[in-house]
Amino acid sequence: MAMEQNEETAMPHVVFIPYAMTSHITPLVHIARLFALHGLKVTIIAPQHNALLFQSSVDRDRLFSGSNITVRTIQFPSEEVGLPVGIENFIASPSMEIVGKVHYGFILLQKIMEQLIREINPNCIVSDMFFPWTVDLAEEMQIPRFSFQPATSIHQCAWVFIREFKPYKNVASDAEKFLIPGLPLDIKMKVSEIEDFLKEETEYTKTVDDVLQAEVRSHGIIHNTCSELEPGVAQLYEKARGVKGWHIGPLALFINKYEAEISSKQISNSNINSCSDPWKGYGDCFNWLENQQPNSVLFVCFGSMIRFSDDQLKEMAVGLKAANCPTIWVFREQDKNEVDEKDEHSDWSRNGFKEMIGEKMFIIQGWAPQQLILKHQAIGGFLTHCGWNSILESLAVGVPLITWPLFSDNFYTDKLLETLGLAIGIGADVWNPGFILSCPPLSGEKIELAVKRLMNNSEESRKIRENAKLMAKKLKSATEEGGSSHSQLIGLIEEIKRCAFKKSS
């Protein structure tokens, strides 16, 4: 017993701090769970309602695997920022105004989180990129800080080289493409596709500067990617920035494998809903898929944050109908926002919408079990805005993509996938400063053409499908023992242990 207590005392303790977006929270919590499953002590700090997104998974890990992982909840300052209780995540935010308030709430939480971390006294901090202050705290506590970047490495490299060399200044017009210098892949972009804050001073410029400055002072950067998807990029970033990068993705493949092992044991517990049916409520969709031919269905989903204008939705419906391809469209009823607020025609009736889209369309309103849908043999393509988690889910099961980049890092992902022969670009070329889109509507003709190019079984589409299936095998190998991501994950854990031992000795 004394030996076990000594081992417990010596176990490195890592604190994780997720941000306010589910697309950031989910992969960071995956890392926390993997660390705990590999013997580290883990504490996740989050506001109460955000913690509900992953509390059951943490409880399940503790119950079934004995993981030393806990969640410490803090109270979100709802009243101070003028938000209803429970709005702590951008997904619940129908406007940029509310997003700003959520972000401000996390700024107000900084002192509380700092004090809690000092009380916990961990050996390491892993924080979302949007908490650059954690590098100051880590230096004060003399412990390593790792920054979590939920997207690609290539966009970080592109940021550095675009800011340094300003290649967009060498083109005659916004329509002309320029080559981003220094990258291991030939990535060409239009001026209209790169972020405003890279070309001029904006409100977001300081945030980006703070994130990048904190990175170079960090012990390392963790990415949900792998060398198979971004060959040579990790080494390039390390050379350009002087900070170690750890590529340990796709994280969901690690977690899915672990959860499959747990499910195979057929353990039930009255307090943990471990045997719930994820298809519950989606039987009609599943039955519809069963009646479709293999690789014949297009899956269309833009996550939970994108707000299209009514004009764009109409063009989308026209284009998808004209493509004459069986389609599952995950459609979110549009919340009122600054753009549509005064438009008397913005409130669509469900019946009118269904009449517009035709008989080959299956509509899911609200949330959909995306991973399960993508796994189905009938799915032959995925139309997406290039959210990185969705890209990884699709490629992990060998489903090729139609890319419709809209905001954030989407355009770099779009170019990466096209360069690797994994996707067909839909032709979007205007970056938006937020998820409420301000770019001109993409025509139904462009949407129709892109869908037909991928789904018509041409030589081009067969090649892309072949590339996607091959990438799925590579990603699976990367996360198996001895694979690139598995080795990086074990190396990262060993580095944290090394740092903890060095400080204690």
Q: Which helix (H) or strand (E) holds 361?
A: strand 361-365
Residue 340 bears catalytic tag: no
Residue 88's SS3 state is coil
The single residue of 24, 30, 223, 247 carrying the catalytic annotation is: 24
**Rg for the chain, CA atoms, rounded:** 23
Residue 375 DSSP code: H
Residue 24 bears catalytic tag: yes
CA distances from residue 461 to 94, 306, 381, 453, 458 in whole angstroms, order as listed: 37, 27, 10, 6, 5
Q: Which helix (H) or strand (E) holds 383?
A: strand 379-384
Structure tokens at 484: 């690139």
Q: Are 129 and 149 in contact (CB under 8 A)?
A: yes
Sheet holding 297-300, edge to edge: 361-365, 327-331, 297-300, 379-384, 401-403, 423-425
CA distances from residue 443 to 50, 157, 177, 207, 314 in whole angstroms, order as listed: 37, 32, 21, 34, 9
- Beta bridge partners, 436, equal 307
Return the exposure string of 72-90: e unless at least 16 CB atoms fall within 10 Å of the residue's CB, then b: eeeebbbeebebeeebbbb
DSSP 158-223: HHHHHHHH-GGGG-SSTTSEEEPTT-SS--EEEGGGS-HHHHS--TTHHHHHHHHHHHHTSSEEEE
CA distances from residue 78 to 20, 22, 83, 92, 378 in whole angstroms, order as listed: 14, 19, 5, 13, 44
Q: Are 157 and 125 in contact (CB under 8 A)?
A: no
Structure tokens at 218: 């960090």
Alpha carbons 109 and 364: distance in angstroms, whole number: 36
The single residue of 59, 128, 409, 414 carrying the catalytic annotation is: 128
Beta strand pairing status for 177-179 and 145-149?
Answer: unpaired
Q: How far is CA 443 from the centre of its chain?
A: 27
Beta strand pairing status for 361-365 and 327-331?
Answer: parallel
Q: Are 407 and 398 in contact (CB under 8 A)?
A: no
Angle at alpha carbon of residue 382, lines to 376 and 388, rounded to 5°: 110
Q: Which residues contact 125 (CB under 8 A, 6 or more apart)?
A: 14, 15, 17, 117, 134, 137, 138, 143, 144, 145, 146
* 372: nearest Cα among 489, 483, 276: 276
Active site residues per annotation: 24, 128
